[in-house]
Every structure is written in structure tokens, then in C-alpha cells.
Chain A
Amino acid sequence: MASFTASSLSTSTSVMTTCDSKPEITPQKLMNSSILVQPEWIEMEICDVGNSIFNELPLSKENLNLKVKSLNTALVFKDLKLLKLLASTRNGLLNKGLRSTIWPELFIENHAINDTPTDWHDLPKHKDEDQVLKDVERSFVSFPKGITPEELKDLRTRLNNLIVRVIRTTPALNYYQGYHDVATIVVLVFDDDDLAFKFLHKLTLSYLRDHMLPHIESTVKQLNLISELLEKIDYKFFKAIGSIPPLYALSSVISVFSHDLSKFDDLCLVWDFIFVHDDPALIIYIYASILIYYKDDILNDLDELSGKSFSSDDTLIDESSTSIHEDEFYNRDFIHVILNNLIDNNLNSTNSIDSNLEIYNILQLSLKYINKYPPSSLKLMSEISDYSVLKAKRSELELLKSSSSFNNEPKRPSSSLPKKKGRLSSIILRNKSLSLILKLSLGIGLLSIIINYTVSNHPNVLSHSFIKFRSREFGVLNSFSVNAIFKDVENTALFFYSSAGKVVESIRGNGNR
């Protein structure tokens, strides 16, 4: 526990040190210090700093506590960037309680939603309420597990009320099957029905409204983006499965994966991620990433089912055959059925630790693709209405992009040699030798005096000069138990993470200039 805390703090404080432009605390100075002998420097993107702390799987109990406290601190300080940084790490927002507080922060922060002026019960009945009831009656199938019939009944009543309240409040919305799956998640996360309504209403209008037009055409247009994306990402793979319209993605896309992911935790991770980036287009990119992630399995299954070799090169590029034999129908059917069951046969069939990791990888992949092939680069976007959530939301996002951690990529191998790069990067101290600890201990006596002084000034945690001061100490003390210095971990975490957010912000400010 102690060693983790210490090293994680050292990692992050070194970032502060590096990013500080004042000469007196440059890494070089630290390196030249008589206390530090031969430290190793590695390069790390600023956006990876937060990730590096909490990305272990499974997260240890200590790290978990630290993360919870960090999240709470970020909440207290309304530090959205820090919230996003923490939410982007592997276990996302961890639990229902945090999600019900943080999702609205991430997502409905700037959108004042007026309560329904009258009691929603008194609003006119919506034409789709019968369909809602039919779907509510078969809801909560995969989760929650082990509830009593009474609890199930209660959940279904809440679900029905929630959906009916949304569609009565905005009668122009056309309910669709799959929307009820979205609403089940909201019911499970939010105990407060009014907050659940506000959240779902906002989610509906800013993410799902394309699917709630009278016809399904706008949904199909969104789905078609998956094909184009696939064509850009992996042309050979596209040739193998691109002959059918991506209707296999229908349930995942319109339900934001809630119809298909059978583990509640997995689903919440995906939602954490989407809300952190607050971009409806990510749903399409995540789906495409799932296809790419399981490409080998898909091709193997196709070979097996159809008796043809989809995975061999010559089949893929063969465009000479003009007539389509009846067998071609079966191939298309096979493709559909394999892809339609892709999530069920993979993510839903593994244990939660594996699926958790796979989801993290898939999400990181989707970030890579949305940066490399943004929606604006897709030709089929021209078919999509200007009022689509994919377009209306985009303009806001382009502005935010430069200051968010959008450049996150899957874990990179760390290099021991510092490289020059144009992008914002920082140098991190990595401590690995035990002998260093011994040598460091020589300086402890001297430093403890300074530290005691610092702790007594705790209320000043947010002042920048204080942070610089602290960071220098942490840089030096990187292998000591922080518990021994501070009274408890809570103070450490509270102090550190509230500061870190401000520093990251100021670094970004510098970087953008």
C-alpha cells in the first residue's frame, strides 16, 4: 500500500515539476541534487498520468479507496477535467453512487433542464405507451441478479413511469424497442426518480433523438457509418463482411449497448467513457472497434459456418463474379448472425475481469479511430441531417477537443530514453532501485522539518507556489511511505488530487499557448 501510494504520487508530482516553468525546480536540478543518484527518466503524455495510477486490474483495495476519494474531491471542487481524467481510467466511475452524482456533472452540467411544469401524470397519454408496457414486462432480464419478485415489480413500475414521463413530456418522440433498455440502466443507477428523469430526458434529446423520429431511416444512416468506418480502418476485413448492411449493430447502437452487454459493470464502463467525452458519435466508433477487436474470431466463424474461406486473400479481393448465386444469400445470413451475436459470444461469455479489460481496450481503440477518422472525414455524414445528434454536438466538441484528453491511446511501452516531441509531454521520475531508498533515507531527517511545516499549512493546498513546493518534496521522497509523513491517506489524496487538477489545467493552458 505504502509503496504504491508513494510511487504514484511521485509519478504525478514529477509531472508538476516538469511542467512548471520556473527554473529553480527543473528536473535537472532535482537530478543534480545530492540526494538523488542516477534516476531514470521516462517520457509520458500528460493525459497518461492519471491513467498510469489507476489502470491496474483488478484495482487493489487501497487504490480503490484512493480513487474514490479523488473522485469525491474532484466533485467537491467541481473539477470537471480531473473528473474526466479519473473516469477515463480502467474501472471508470466505480459504482452506482458515484455514477449517479458524476454522470449528471459530466453530462448535464451546462444544460439547465426545466422540470415538467405540471405533474406528468396529468399530461396526455402518448401513443406508444402500450408498446412501452410490453417491453417493460420483459425488462431487467440480465441484471440485476438475485432480486425478489417484489423488487422486480418495483423496478418495472419505476421503469414504466420513467419512460412514460419522458415521452409525455416530449410527445414528439417516438418510442422504440431498445429505448427501454437504456432506461433500465438509468433506473438502476439513479435512486431519485426526478434526477433519473432529468438525466434520461437529456440523454434522449442529445444522444437518442435520431432514433425517435417517425421512421427508422435516420437510424439506418447512422449505422451505415459503421461500414464506411470499417472500410477505412481495415479494407480487407470490410471486403469480407461489408456486403451486408450493418443492421447487426442496430440493437447496440440504439440502446447504447444496454440491450447487448449482459454485465451491468461492463455497460457502466462504456457509459462512463461516452459521457466523459460526451460525444454521441463514439457509439458508432465503439461498435466499429468491437468488430476490429474480434476480427479474427469473426473470420474464423465465417469460414466454419459457410465452408468458404473469407479470410483468404483471393476471396476478399475477388470482384470478378458478377452473378450472385443463391449461396450468396446464405453467406450474407451467416455474416449477419455471427455479427449479431458477437457481443454475446465474446464479452458476455467471459468472466468480468477479462471483459472489463477487453472493454477498456475496445474503448481506447475507439478513441484512436475517432481521432484518425473523425466523423467529418466520413463521406456518409453528408447523408445525415444537420439536426442529427452526430452533427449538432460535433461543433461544440471540436472546440473542446484541444483541451481534453482526447489523444488517449492504449498503453504504450515506456522508453528509458527521453525523446523530443512536438506534443506536450513530460518527464517522469521512475524509481526502481532499493539502494536509492537507502540513499534517500539520508535526506529524510532534514526534509521532515520542511514537511511538518507544509502539513501545518494544509489550507493553502490550492495555491500554486505551494504546489511547486510540495512537488519538489515529493520528487525527492518518491519511495517513502506517504503515510509516515501525512497523518492519513485521506488527507494525502484530498490534497494531491485537488491540486493535480489545477496543475493539469495550468499545464494545458501553457501548452495551448
Chain B
Amino acid sequence: MSNNRKKTILKVIILGDSGVGKTSLMQQFINGKFSQQYKATIGADFLPKDLTIDDKQVTMQIWDTAGQERFQSLGVAFYRGSDCCVLVYDVTNTKSFENVQSWRDEFLIQANIKDPDNFPFVVIGNKIDVEENKRLISSKKAQALCANLGNLPYFETSAKEAVNVEQAFDVVARNALQQEESLEFSDDYTDAVNIHVDGDNYGSCGC
């Protein structure tokens, strides 16, 4: 039991529109494989992965979520206690790119993040394995958005061909660890979160 308490758990949430490849990214990172045959994700679920970051043992809990908008309001039950949030879009899908910011805003509200300016996000543009003419969002455009959102780290990946996935999640893990450690200094953080999460939840449902 004491071992369990000592072990740092990093909670990471993957968000983004339906079909951008959230499940595929998670599977590629955790199991090192890709399949064309992933079912649509309904609700949310996590997979754990043990990592060593600068000699520190951590367990990363990667939460895969549903992309359809109607499930967004359920996030309040899953997002709390997160240490990092990954925002994924599909480089062949303009709408998914345009929604990156709203996914971020929604996350900040539902996870009830106390210090939104310093919460770690990582943006991923997935499916770069497609032919160049199918790609609709240029790197430049994506980088501009990330700069605008507060210099968020940005990666272009292919979950299918395992391009950049490892690198992106390495940054996710480091930022999450930093976030987790910064939280350890604020003792009353968790109580405050708990009270407000419930209150805000009902408030936001009413409108």
C-alpha cells in the first residue's frame, strides 16, 4: 500500500473530434501497434503505461475519450485530477482543427483547472501519412494556432506509421510530471477541487 502511494500517477486526457485518431495514438504509444479496426470510443477509458522519466518511476494513465460532441458534458466525471491534456486533430479535416480551441476551453471548465494559463496542453496533428494533396492543415497554420493558445507544444504524428508518437508522449509525460509535482506543494488543492467540481457541474448543466 505504501508503495502504491509513493508511485506517481500521471493522468493524461486525450481530446479531439470524432475520428481524428485518439484511440490509435494511445494504442500506438502503449502497445506499439496500429489497427484499422478500432471501434468508436463511447464514454471514456484509460490504459496505464509505466515509464521512467529522469530516473523517476511513474505510471501514466492515458484516458481515451469519445469525440462526439454530445458526450462532452460527461467530461466532468473523467477530467478531474488530470496532469496534462492532449488535443488531437486530423490534418485532413479542417473542422477538427478549428475545434482544437473549443476542446481546450471545455477541458479547462470541466476539469476545473485553477491555473489555466499554466496547465500543460500538447497539440497533435495526426494522420500525416496521407498523401500531400489530402492534407488540409499546414504546419504553419497549426503552429500559429499553438502560439496563439499560449505556446503549446505541437507535434505532427502518424499513429498508423508510428511517426513522432513516442516523442509527443515523452513531452506529454514530462509536462504532466512537472504539473503533478507543482500540485504537491498546494495542500488544500484537492479539497477545493472536489467542492467546486460538483458545484460547477450542476451550474453548467442548467444552462
Are the CB atoms of B68 and A177 closer together than 8 Å? yes
The segment from A77-85, A240-248, A281-289, A494-502 that touches chain B is: A240-248
Verify if A40 is at the interface (C-beta below 8 Å from B): no
Nearest-Cβ distance from residue B128 to partner chain A, whole angstroms: 19
Verify if A163 is at the interface (C-beta below 8 Å from B): no
User: Which residue numbers of B lie inside 8 Å of A, CB to CB?
Assistant: 1, 3-5, 9, 11, 18-19, 37-46, 61, 66-68, 70-71, 73-74, 77-78, 80-81, 189-191, 194, 205
Query: A64-79 interface mask toward B, CB cutoff 8 Å, 1 = contact, 0 = none?
Result: 0000000000000000
A302 to B35, CA, bound (A): 30
Verify if A174 is at the interface (C-beta below 8 Å from B): yes
The segment from A2-10, A133-141, A442-450 that touches chain B is: A133-141
A176 to B41, CA, bound (A): 11
Query: A291-316 interface mask toward B, CB cutoff 8 Å, 1 = contact, 0 = none?
Result: 00000000000000011100000000
Q: Select from chain A the residue with minimum beta-carbon distance to B205.
A: A217
Residues of B within 8 A of A137 (CB): 19
B19 partner, pick from A134, A251, A333, beta carbons under 8 A: A134
Verify if A353 is at the interface (C-beta below 8 Å from B): no
A250 to B44, CA, bound (A): 9
Verify if A378 is at the interface (C-beta below 8 Å from B): no
Residues of A within 8 A of B66 (CB): 177
A306 to B19, CA, bound (A): 32
A340 to B38, CA, bound (A): 16
Verify if A165 is at the interface (C-beta below 8 Å from B): no
Nearest-Cβ distance from residue B67 to partner chain A, whole angstroms: 8
Verify if A341 is at the interface (C-beta below 8 Å from B): yes
Nearest-Cβ distance from residue B110 to partner chain A, whole angstroms: 13
Within 8 A of B (CB), among A321-368: 323-327, 329-330, 333, 336-337, 340-341
Q: Select from chain B the residue with minimum beta-carbon distance to A329.
A: B81
Q: In the complex where A141-B39, A247-B43 touch, is A176 in contact with B68 (Cβ < 8 A)?
A: yes
Residues of B within 8 A of A269 (CB): none
A336 to B81, CA, bound (A): 14
Nearest-Cβ distance from residue A26 to partner chain B, whole angstroms: 58
Q: Select from chain A the residue with minimum beta-carbon distance to B68.
A: A177
Are the CB atoms of B39 and A259 closer together than 8 Å? yes
Residues of A within 8 A of B46 (CB): 333, 337
Verify if A53 is at the interface (C-beta below 8 Å from B): no
Are the CB atoms of A340 and B37 closer together than 8 Å? no
B73 partner, pick from A176, A216, A337, beta carbons under 8 A: A216
Residues of A within 8 A of B191 (CB): 323-324
Are the CB atoms of A178 and B42 closer together than 8 Å? yes
Q: In the complex where A244-B77, A248-B43, A329-B81 touch, is A215 in contact with B38 (Cβ < 8 A)?
A: no
Are the CB atoms of A215 and B42 closer together than 8 Å? no
Residues of A within 8 A of B68 (CB): 131, 176-177
A325 to B190, CA, bound (A): 7
Query: A214-245 interface mask toward B, CB cutoff 8 Å, 1 = contact, 0 = none?
Result: 01110010000000000000000000000011
Nearest-Cβ distance from residue A142 to partner chain B, whole angstroms: 8
Are the CB atoms of A180 and B40 closer together than 8 Å? yes
Can you add 19 more A-B contacts, CB < 8 Å, to A176-B70, A307-B1, A329-B190?
A134-B19, A138-B39, A174-B70, A178-B42, A215-B73, A216-B74, A245-B77, A247-B44, A247-B77, A250-B43, A251-B42, A307-B5, A323-B191, A325-B190, A329-B80, A330-B9, A333-B61, A337-B45, A340-B44
Chain B interface mostly = mixed
Nearest-Cβ distance from residue A344 to partner chain B, whole angstroms: 10
Nearest-Cβ distance from residue B66 to partner chain A, whole angstroms: 6
A131 to B70, CA, bound (A): 11
Chain A interface, number of residues (Cβ within 8 angstroms): 41
Verify if A389 is at the interface (C-beta below 8 Å from B): no
A430 to B89, CA, bound (A): 68
Q: Select from chain B the residue with minimum beta-carbon distance to A212.
A: B70
A308 to B77, CA, bound (A): 22
Q: Select from chain A the residue with minimum beta-carbon distance to B188.
A: A323
Residues of B within 8 A of A176 (CB): 68, 70
A326 partner, pick from B1, B4, B71, B81, beta carbons under 8 A: B81
Nearest-Cβ distance from residue B106 to partner chain A, whole angstroms: 14
B4 partner, pick from A177, A181, A306, beta carbons under 8 A: A306
Residues of B within 8 A of A341 (CB): 45
Residues of A within 8 A of B43 (CB): 247-248, 250-251, 340
Residues of A within 8 A of B77 (CB): 244-245, 247, 336
Q: Which 5 pairs show the lowest CB-CB distances between chains A and B?
A: A307-B4, A251-B42, A329-B81, A250-B43, A134-B19
* A to B CB contacts below 8 Å, 24 in the list: A131-B18, A134-B40, A135-B18, A137-B19, A142-B39, A176-B68, A177-B41, A177-B42, A177-B67, A178-B40, A216-B70, A216-B74, A217-B205, A247-B44, A247-B78, A306-B4, A308-B1, A325-B190, A326-B190, A330-B81, A333-B11, A336-B44, A337-B46, A340-B44
Are the CB atoms of B38 and A138 closer together than 8 Å? yes
A180 to B205, CA, bound (A): 27
A142 to B1, CA, bound (A): 38
Residues of B within 8 A of A244 (CB): 77
Verify if A254 is at the interface (C-beta below 8 Å from B): yes
Verify if A255 is at the interface (C-beta below 8 Å from B): yes
Are the CB atoms of A135 and B80 closer together than 8 Å? no
Nearest-Cβ distance from residue A139 to partner chain B, whole angstroms: 8
Nearest-Cβ distance from residue A304 to partner chain B, whole angstroms: 10
Are the CB atoms of A177 and B38 closer together than 8 Å? no
Query: A361-399 interface mask toward B, CB cutoff 8 Å, 1 = contact, 0 = none?
Result: 000000000000000000000000000000000000000
A174 to B68, CA, bound (A): 12
Residues of A within 8 A of B11 (CB): 329, 333
Residues of A within 8 A of B61 (CB): 333
Residues of A within 8 A of B205 (CB): 217
Q: In the complex where A176-B68, A216-B70 touch, is A138 in contact with B45 (Cβ < 8 A)?
A: no
Nearest-Cβ distance from residue B121 to partner chain A, whole angstroms: 20
Are the CB atoms of A141 and B45 closer together than 8 Å? no
Nearest-Cβ distance from residue A225 to partner chain B, whole angstroms: 17
Are the CB atoms of A141 and B1 closer together than 8 Å? no
A341 to B47, CA, bound (A): 11
Nearest-Cβ distance from residue A442 to partner chain B, whole angstroms: 65
Nearest-Cβ distance from residue B85 to partner chain A, whole angstroms: 15
Nearest-Cβ distance from residue A353 to partner chain B, whole angstroms: 25
